[in-house]
Amino acid sequence: MLHTEFASDNTSGICPEALNSIIEANSGVMASYGNDDWTRRACDAIRDLFETDADVFFVFNGTAANSLALASLCQSYHSIVCHKLSHVETDECGGPEFFSNGTKLLLADGADGKLDLADVARVVAARTDIHYPKPRAVTITQSTEVGTVYSLAEVQALGAACRDMDLSFHMDGARFANAVAHLQVSPADLTWRAGVDVLSFGGTKMGMPVGEAVVFFNHDLAQDFAYRCKQAGQLASKMRFLAAPWVGMLQNNAWQIRAAHANAMASRLGAALSAMPGVALMFPVQANAVFATLPETTAATLKARGWSFYSFIGAGGARFVCSWATTAEQVDALVADIRQALP
């Protein structure tokens, strides 16, 4: 059956390395609520990956990871600066505001879905009076909602600015694996060494069935986070099955092999689309997503033929997302159908 699914990396199955670990963890009885050996191993694997003694917590999805991480940075009278296209603003149904008891998201801009340093400073300085929620944190998405990647220097500059403005720095890393695969830099350099205080480390999109890790590089901010997870219904009783895939994905560098493949499929698709008349790439293809403007009739024809892709993300256009499971043949079949559907 033709694979027509390019809506999201969330539609892929479980990659073998994650599944094999779950099967291996499924033996006998084990302590619950994270007191098992698999959770310990997964936390240690993440600490080894980031080369630092981070506090690690596992939650069920990215909205919880982002909302609870941001809530741990702010009081209800604070505000958080984010990009106007950020997931926390557009696709978390008010989760960050809810779980922080009212922290306000302040929208800033920047090209290619990336926060512009000057615009962050503008937003932070715009209001300093008592009547306005005090800026307390900045959040960026790496890789971004539009398939771009902050360079190491850009993250470092934002980290330095946060330090200078006494702001905490959060990274929505739902697709952090894809950003590392693109940049080929160390996870430590791209996070805590650049000033990131807490990372929502995406597992679901990299090939796990479910699960994200919240990685605190700033121990003070992790205080009582376990209670925040429990109260939000994010403490898994059978934690070993949330943790085991991390062991499988982080060993033998599977997380990067799989992410690099997804990125390569997106690059393959982007290269083909950029050569098509009437089709234009909206953003550089740097991770595993391609955003393109298509002739209206083309998009409708593709949907009618069963192709699945979103048109509501970011700045519009058609979003095609490749995952660890996407094959070159599937990309080429999509390209052929797009070409055939052009006016």
Ligand X SMILES: C[C@H](O)[C@H](N)C(=O)O
Interface ranges with ligand PLP (CB under 6 A): 10, 61-63, 66, 87, 141, 145, 172, 174, 204
Element (H, E) at 331: helix 328-341
Q: Which residue, 83 or 87, has its beta carbon nearer to ligand X?
A: 87
Single out the residue of 325, 58, 38, 54 nearest to residue 203, CA to CA.
Answer: 58
Minimum distance of ligand X from residue 87's CB (angstroms): 6
Closest residue to ligand PLP in the complex (CB)? 62
Minimum distance of ligand X from residue 293's CB (angstroms): 19
Minimum distance of ligand X from residue 167's CB (angstroms): 25
| Half-sphere exposure of residue 274: CA atoms within 13 angstroms, side-chain side | 12
Minimum distance of ligand PLP from residue 91's CB (angstroms): 7
Minimum distance of ligand X from residue 141's CB (angstroms): 10
Q: Which residue, 10 or 251, has its beta carbon nearer to ligand X?
A: 10
Minimum distance of ligand PLP from residue 62's CB (angstroms): 2
Minimum distance of ligand PLP from residue 214's CB (angstroms): 12
**Partner in contact with 61, chosen from ligand X, ligand PLP, none, beta carbon below 5 to 8 Å by kind:** ligand PLP
- Looking at residues 62 to 101 of the shown chain, list those that interact with ligand X (rule: CB under 6 A): 87, 91
Q: Any residues with CB less than 8 A from the CB of 186 and at least 6 apart, and which?
A: 51
The answer to the question of residue 308 lying near ligand X (CB under 6 A) is no
**Partner in contact with 258, chosen from ligand X, ligand PLP, none, beta carbon below 5 to 8 Å by kind:** none
Query: Quick count: other Cβ atoms within 10 Å of Cβ 227?
Result: 10
Q: Judged by CB under 6 A, how many residues of this single chain contact ligand X? A: 5
Minimum distance of ligand PLP from residue 175's CB (angstroms): 6
Distance CA 132, CA 122 (A): 15
Q: Which residue, 34 or 211, has its beta carbon nearer to ligand X?
A: 211
Distance CA 311, CA 293 (A): 10
Q: Which residue, 278 or 284, has its beta carbon nearer to ligand X?
A: 284
Task: Categorise residue 306: left if φ over 0, alpha if ψ from -120 to 50, beta otherwise.
Answer: left
Q: Which residue, 86 or 298, has its beta carbon nearer to ligand X?
A: 86
The answer to the question of residue 311 lying near ligand X (CB under 6 A) is no
**Partner in contact with 59, chosen from ligand X, ligand PLP, none, beta carbon below 5 to 8 Å by kind:** none
- Looking at residues 30 to 69 of the shown chain, list those that interact with ligand X (rule: CB under 6 A): none
User: b/e per residue, 11-45, with b = 16+ CB within 10 A?
Assistant: ebebbebbbbbbeebeeeebeeebebebbebbbeb
160 burial level (CB within 10 Å; 0-12, 13-18, 19+): middle
**Partner in contact with 204, chosen from ligand PLP, ligand X, none, beta carbon below 5 to 8 Å by kind:** ligand PLP
Distance CA 245, CA 207 (A): 9
Edge-first strand listing for the sheet containing 280-281: 280-281, 289-293, 318-321
Q: Any residues with CB less than 8 A from the CB of 212 and at least 6 apart, and which?
A: 58, 59, 60, 61, 62, 64, 65, 174, 200, 201, 202, 203, 204
Length of the chain equals: 343
59: β partners: 212
Q: Which residue, 72 or 288, has its beta carbon nearer to ligand X?
A: 288
| Binding test (CB under 6 A) with ligand X, winner from 3, 4, 5, 8 | 8
Q: Which residue, 279 or 322, has its beta carbon nearer to ligand PLP?
A: 322
Residues that bind ligand X (CB under 6 A): 8, 10, 87, 91, 313
